[in-house]
Amino acid sequence: MSKMLYTRLSILVILLVFITTSIYGQSDSKDKKNPLAGLPFKERLFLGGDFGLSFGTTTYIRIAPLVGYRVNPDFSVGVSPSYQYWKVNTPTDSFDQSVYGGSTFARYFLFESIFIQSEFEVLNLEARTRDNESLLDRRVNVPMFFVGAGYSQRTANGSGFFIGAFYDLIQDPNSPYRDDLTFRMGGFIGL
């Protein structure tokens, strides 16, 4: 896919998240009582994130804080900047790099603890690209569009933890996620 198509897809996903939030929030307040409807903006926010660690031949560190907004008890949206560090040291390959990025997500609880989620993420990383006859390491932006489901244990004040499995619909060849499914776990606290 071309860079222009990625940009258009990014804008489309972000618009869909905000349109869905607006429509869902309006219909929810008319059709049934939303216990969050009278709360100030700050009290609908929650903070959290996920992290990952792996040491050995491959060292991997991921830090991804998040800020979310509870539209109602079952639907939330948010953003998450991220940083990843990779270091590979094998007899045939050795490299290290920092990966920067961010994502926006929409999460809907089907049941008390089961949710579905869509997430659009863009990461900036070093990738090997072909320039005429030579291979060059360049920083590139890599888009991913995850869809998936998970389990979350929540408290009444909006705190808890989650674990989920997500599939990348874009499958960019430069994606650092090599498997079909990406697993994430993390926590969050209500403000």
Query: What single-letter amino acid sits at 27?
Result: S
pLDDT at 15 over 60: no
pLDDT for position 94: 80
Confidence of residue 167 (pLDDT cuts 50, 70, 90): very high
pLDDT tens by residue, 131-161: 666 566 788 999 999 999 999 987 776 678 8
| Region class of 123: left (phi > 0), else alpha (psi between -120 and 50), else beta | beta
- Quote the DSSP letter at residue 117: E
| More confident call, 50 vs 190 | 50
Give me the domain span that covers residue 96: 3-190
The CA R_g of the chain, rounded to the nearest whole Å, is 19
**What is the chain's mean pLDDT, rounded?**
81
Tokens of 138: 């360049």
pLDDT for position 179: 76
Cα 4 from Cα 9, distance rounded (Å): 9
CATH number of the domain to which 51 belongs: 2.40.160.20
| More confident call, 71 vs 51 | 71
| Model confidence, pTM | 0.75
What is the number of domains present in the chain? 1
CA-wise closest residue to 185 among 152, 143, 158 = 152
